[in-house]
Amino acid sequence: MTRFSPAAPGDPYRYGVYLRPDPRTCLAVTTVTTALRAQFGIVSAGAFPPHATLVGSQHLGREEDVIVRAVSAALAPLASFPVVNAGVRRPGGVIYDVHHLADGTPNLPLVQLAAAVDAAVAPLRLPADDPEPNLFDRQRFRAHLSLASHDLYERPDLTDEVEEFVRGLDIEVPATFPGDTVALYRTRSDDWSGRWWRTMTWEHLHTWRLPHSSAGMP
């Protein structure tokens, strides 16, 4: 595994730990983000692999095998759980809402997963000027799959049209998927303080599979 040990806050590398959806949901997200890029030039959500962020934009000045060991220990006692896709929503962009269960309550195993990952990487964080790390906050955490995000902060006038366009695509997406796949990515940008999604690249580093329990999805 390639190793990076950033010496200064201004280095270009950040890390994210993500919940990966099932392949069909990943395909639906990719189809939508590709169509949005072709129609509107929107690229921020599509700059990432399809995912629900557990922790993101982490400046971790440690060997990458240390990150893997820390997250592995945090995930060891956890099991997979059902994730519900409530469909297209619009808080902070256009997204698929995967935070809630069918009855509208938060998916507590998903919240607990994010909390466990955040606690695992917290001792590894180093200060960085930009961007602010995506820190876990139980009250504010909302798991989602981004379809259109940072571009709309610059072009809020497009938000209604983008949502209408996404709904008009009528992409078939599974109503549920197993929350059983967690992945570590290294991201890089030439300028985290600016439009980082214009230059961001990423590399997959590690995948964990959560075991299925009798209470979870088959």
Name residues of the chain where pLDDT drops below 50: 1-9, 216-218
The predicted pLDDT at position 92 comes to: 73
- Going by C-alpha positions, the residue among 79, 76, 98 that lies closest to residue 87 is 98
- pLDDT (0 to 100) of residue 47: 92
Indicate yes or no: pTM above 0.85.
yes
Residue 130 pLDDT? 64
Tell me the pLDDT tens digit for each residue of 72-100. Answer: 999 999 999 999 999 999 877 899 999 99
Quick: pLDDT tens for 5-33: 344 445 788 999 999 999 999 999 999 99
> At the fourth CATH level, which superfamily is domain 13-209?
Cyclic phosphodiesterase (3.90.1140.10)
Instruction: Write down the domain spans for the chain.
Output: 13-209
For residue 59, the model assigns a pLDDT of 86
